[in-house]
A = this chain, B = another copy of it.
Amino acid sequence: MPKISEEKKKQRQLDILKTALRLFSQKGYYAASIDDITREAGISKGLIYTYFKSKEEIFLELAQRWDELTNNTSFADTLDRVLSDDMSVTEQLMCVWDATVSQWTEENLNFARIKFEFWLEASKNEALREKMKEKAMSSLRIVEDIIFKTRPDMDPAVAAAFSRLWWSQIDGLAAYFVSYRLLPPESEMARIRDIIRHMCGYLEAR
């Protein structure tokens, strides 16, 4: 029988993950040491190994529980709230766009940094790659669902291609802003939004 409750353990695990998330985001995976993490999490260096079996496992766990850790869980909920069936594909997609972009605060862009590290690692690590794919799928599905809801007869391959491009644009833009350490200027974002809206017209036409 464990000395601390299962619940406490979960909580502590979460604490460690959040600290790791913050430090990995700030310094990068290699530069942030186990020492840093335990110090910042307020636990002893040895203890972290009862919660995770290695530094890498922490990293993988972060990738796994990304949404939970970045409070991104509500994204789908938000969409549920704002989307309604009488909106056009374009209108609905612009809601997705706005919901996404509204998350690009300084803090979140910082977090985004670690997403690159996931990508990097994924290219070398099959287990991680599978996890990331799964997550990507569920994002793709958001867009596909919207498309099929309004255009039930859309060619699935087209919907898939559109979704892929959609998130690629978003990730590409995020990458740019993270890398260059600048928050997207509102005016530029407005113009980009305009182009995206035009792009959505592609779906309307079919």
Residues of A within 8 A of B (CB): 26-28, 30, 113, 116-120, 122-124, 129, 132-133, 136, 157-158, 160-162, 164-165, 167-173, 175-176, 178-181, 187-188, 191-192, 194-196, 198-199, 201-202, 205
Contacts and interface: CB of A to CB of B under 8 A. Distances in A.
- Tell which of A117, A133, A173 has the most Cβ of chain B within 10 Å: A173
A119 B130 CA distance: 23
B180 A122 contact: yes
B157 A187 contact: yes
Given A171-B172, A176-B164, A120 B28 contact: yes
Given A120-B120, A124-B27, A198-B201, A164 B181 contact: no
Contact of A165 (B26, B116, B173): B173
A178 B122 CA distance: 9
A136 B179 CA distance: 11
Contact of A199 (B164, B172, B198): B198
B28 A133 contact: no
Nearest to A112: B123
Given A120-B116, A195-B161, A129 B169 contact: no
Contacts of A175: 119, 168, 171-172, 175
A168 B157 contact: no
A176 B168 contact: yes
Contacts of A117: 120
A168 B172 contact: yes
A160 B187 CA distance: 11
Contacts of A113: 120, 123
A202 B195 contact: yes
Q: Which of A123, A136, A170 has the most CB of B within 10 A?
A: A123
